[in-house]
Structure 1
Amino acid sequence: MVVIGGGTGLPVILNALKDKNAEITAIVTVSDDGGSSGSIRNFINVVPPGDIRNVLVSLSDISQEEKNVFQYRFDSSDSFFSGHAIGNLIIAALNEMHGNIFDAVQSLSKMMRVDGHVFPASNEPLTLNAEFVDGTTEVGETEITSKDKRIKRVWVTDTNSGAKPTAVLPVLAAIMQADAVVLGPGSLFTSILPNLMIPNLGEAVRKTSAEVIYICNIMTQRGETDHFSDAEHVQVINNHLGGHYINTALVNGAKIDMSKFHPEDYDAYLEPVRNDFAGLRKQDCRVITDDFIDQHSGLVFHDGKKVAREIINLALEAMSRRRMTDE
């Protein structure tokens, strides 16, 4: 199966699928321009490594101590390396050694004994562009989300040339051969759609016979999905793809215990995503709802085991349909 996205939610799902012995290909966003990733990108013109780093760790079979070293972020008192994660620096170094990010990540995957495949969505750094509902436009993920305006559409361009980007052939082959293509969880406009807006990658998602599954976010996100329902999340993806291409949506139906909620840890989030089952069905989207919440220490995550179980079942159904068609 193929999982497409970025951000902190993706490793949770990948970890759970790995425990199910699924054959996984993770296709990772390369348009982030913030934090350590953005800083490295600005200095040495490399694809942002942060999401790639986290995905590599989630699928790696190296020891926990080795993972901790790879994930270590230098303290702010270390002025030269302040805020940088060691893994980001290693990815940047391998990118220079190999001359491209795709080969760099494949090399590092072998070193880290990754169980599956990790593919950057593009071999070149991408710039995210957005048009807001009021007709204005903005460039760059950080600038777009800071405007606090409703986004109408997004697209990506090659950061160096300004041209339309492309995904490499292994990315396209993985999507076409998959039994399930999973979108999310992650920021709708800045982690999921940047991948789908790579023209040949989006076309592969439209054409694949795999079950296309969307894992809807639990919380709305400030500057991106303010007050969105689950149906509005799906509608935005379908609008960008140009049709009803989401086959199944996994949506949380359980109430969040707000007494355990720490606002200071979630200043970017607003409220639980509203359920709109009628709106989902109007988009020809099957709905699977459950208590998909894993809430601990005041943080809200998806319950990876429950989500992985549903994904596996959907993938098996798609595999059976494929075999019947082939016969």
Structure 2
Amino acid sequence: MQTVLVTGGAGYIGAHACKVLKAAGFTPVTFDNLNTGWEEAVKFGPFFRGDLMNRADVDAAFVQYRPVAVLHFAALSLVGESMKDPGKYWRVNVMGALNLIEGALAAGCRNFVFSSTCATYGDQDGVLLDENSVQKPINSYGASKRAIEDMLVNFGESHGLNHVIFRYFNVAGCDPEGEIGEQHVPETHLIPLMLDAVAGKRPALTVFGSDYPTRDGTCVRDYVHVMDLVQAHVLGLQWLLEGKGNRVFNLGTGTGFTVREVIEASRAVTNREVPIIEGARRAGDAVALVSGSARAIEELGWEPVHSTLRQMIGDAWGWAQGPGYTK
């Protein structure tokens, strides 16, 4: 079985990626420092505890496992924090990625799948974003991811680094089989925050901003199911292993939902009211981010079959209820 190094493999998206990699016949090696990941989520292959900021850790992982490719998920990703402490995001995200890229090349590993973000596009209201849309990030998180994309292009031109870049939108849901779920400390994602409020694990859900120029005053986002998202990464890996060249793909559904629409969908799934508090806008939040994924569908053969709001909320609700929950 071919080995793939998965940075951030103990985190929400990375752990789901390891599951589908194993199902696809690969051996996923999780590389994680556990600052935000969970060792109990490492269930599908070996675990190498290391830090991307330490080049020696990176080199040791490549020597030990000799991966054919890297799936790079590890990053700081809190928009609000990135606005308050941009240096932290430039240092950790960009320098960590540089260590990883140089370590991969030194080890002869030239296949790199990068987890980027729609935050590289910034705030472009009324536009269905595609891979050719102008990138003008409005926060340090998006800017750091854009910088890593540029690095991949530079190293591709200079050193033959093959890469696939995925710019994706809001990831939601969890493994329908219940092996792994979504948990962050602190939790910042809308759906788990909302379901925690419904379950009484937190007092109420704060809606950040109700005066945006949208149909109900709240932000609009495009949601994609985590299982669909990580399946695209496996397809991207196979794309590189087949020698198809460097490519950028957006991953979304082309349908945007407001915060209030997500709340209404939760009521339909859980049959419970969502307690809410009206809060002020957050710095760095775009009004609307929506993407089509025609390129991924046509070229990769990607099918976002799980990415309905009902399934994303339903799978997350099932995980939140714990083992033995029946939908």
TM bucket normalised to smaller: 0.3 to 0.5
TM-score normalised by structure 2 residue count = 0.36
TM-score normalised by structure 1 residue count = 0.36
